[in-house]
Amino acid sequence: MERMQQIVARARAAFNSGRSRPLEFRIQQLKALERMVQEREKEILAALKADLNKSGPNAYSHEVLGVLRELVLAMEKLPSWAAPQPVKKDLLSLRDDAYIHYEPLGVVLVIGAWNYPFVLVMQPLIGAIAAGNAVVVKPSEVSENTAKLVAELLPQYLDKDLYAVVTGGVPETTELLTQRFDHILYTGSSAVGRIVMAAAAKHLTPVTLELGGKSPCYIDKDCDLAVACRRITWGKYMNCGQTCIAPDYILCDPSIQGKVVENIKATLKEFYGEDVKSSPDYGRIINKHHFKRILALLEGQKIAHGGETDEASCFIAPTILTDVSPESKVMEEEIFGPVLPIVTVKSVAEAIEFINLREKPLALYVFSNNKQLIRRVISETSSGGMTANDVIMHSVVPDLPFGGVGHSGMGAYHGKYSFETFSHRRACLVKDLKLEFVNKLRYPPGSMEMVHL
């Protein structure tokens, strides 16, 4: 497909022209993006509704608000982020200039995902623009309304050659990945993450992979169960469970399992009313393929709550499974749906061991009044990020890096970390061409006595 080659070539030529480098230009493009989000808010929300049945305030707070906030942060901080950073000098370099020079990488590829289709292309795009790069954006074809809208809107507001949108599915993405990029940020599954990294390896292209996994949620006996369960319910069932950092499964003592179920049930009623299906705030599964996949996970499980489904509308009710066996299918893959398995463990030590036997997750959650216990869980496990006594929220702290580790990903972004991800930190040492006598120490003919000076 010549089209891909042309688009990338055009972006590269535009980058080589140098016009994306001045800070004024970058800020102007970011301002244009801000205008786009503000002016076209209705269309953005409509696309999100069409793709994921997200209600207005929900879609706004989960996708649009974050984007606007990131834009303001980038515009505000760009001069300080982009400024050369002087470094500590040693005795020999006291009279030199030593600093880190922030430079753009070149042409960046951003591959989005379908579950938060707007923010997951916009947030990386903001960082890539701020760092002075050209960007090719490939939104997920699964969230087709948002993809179409992004393809329509970006060229209306941004420099068309520097920032391009490519739409399409697997064949188009595969073709795109044969081109040379200077950085690739991919959000999606671990399986495809491997393919992206292997393709990047051909060009020695650095990658940021935002993948997923099963994010565990340990509930200690010593905690305010009502509060814990309300917070967990919010994070689990938002976007109908289709959130990379949703609490995937619960680990708790068998003695509190029943209470956990009761509290979640009560919260569900509070959030979505008696008839979840008719709540405007409860989403749907993105498509039939995922609907069937999640349905299959329920086979043979003890359903403590929920379990109702409607294929026609891709509706799966908020569901809780109890006494789940670690070997069952629902405990093998990331659920990415409104199904919450509870696996019982007798102690925090058992929970930690359970977690460490599995791949490192993108997020990890622990609920407890006991600070020591929380500290222990953090110290004895690893995960992309984590929140104690809540879920999701570490991802909205602007100064925390957001990314995975192991199978859940590599690299990080958000805020300043986006800027650094998409920049080259070039080490610079500028010396005086005079003052040669200092150098004589290092020149041959060498003697060991000189070395000890």
User: What is the rounded CA–CA span in Å between residue 189 and residue 174?
Assistant: 15
Q: Which is nearer to other proteins, 288 or 426 (CB)?
A: 426
Query: Measured from the CB of residue 290, what is the shortest distance to other proteins in angstroms?
Result: 22
- Length of the chain, in residues: 453
Tokens matching residue 354:
């359970």
For residue 451, count CB atoms less than 10 angstroms from its CB and return exposed for 0-12, middle for 13-18, buried for 19 or more: exposed
Q: Which is nearer to other proteins, 165 or 364 (CB)?
A: 364
Q: Which candidate in 144, 210, 334, 420 is catalytic?
A: 210
Separation of first and last alpha carbons in the chain? 63
Query: Measured from the CB of residue 431, what is the shortest distance to other proteins in angstroms?
Result: 4
Q: Which is nearer to other proteins, 23 or 400 (CB)?
A: 400
Supply the DSSP symbol for 62: I
Query: Measured from the CB of residue 49, what is the shortest distance to other proteins in angstroms?
Result: 13
Q: At what angle do helices 23-39 and 65-82 cross, to 10 degrees?
A: 170
Q: Which is nearer to other proteins, 160 or 221 (CB)?
A: 221
User: What is the rounded CA–CA span in Å between residue 77 and residue 379?
Assistant: 33
CA dihedral 417→203→142→385, nearest 10 degrees, is -30
Query: Measured from the CB of residue 66, what is the shortest distance to other proteins in angstroms?
Result: 8
Q: Are strands 423-430 and 97-104 parallel, antiparallel or unpaired?
A: antiparallel
What is the per-residue burial (b if ≥16 Cβ within 10 Å, else e) of 272-299?
A: beeebeeeeebbbbbeeebbeebbebbe
Q: Which is nearer to other proteins, 165 or 211 (CB)?
A: 211
Q: Which is nearer to other proteins, 7 or 364 (CB)?
A: 364
Instruction: Assess whether 420 carries a catalytic annotation.
Output: no
Instruction: Assess whether 229 carries a catalytic annotation.
Output: no
Q: Across 124-232, where does the E strand assignment appear?
A: 134-138, 163-165, 183-187, 207-210, 216-219
Contact yes or no for 130/27 (Cβ under 8 A)? no
Q: Which candidate in 244, 252, 314, 420 is catalytic?
A: 244
* Catalytic residue list: 210, 244
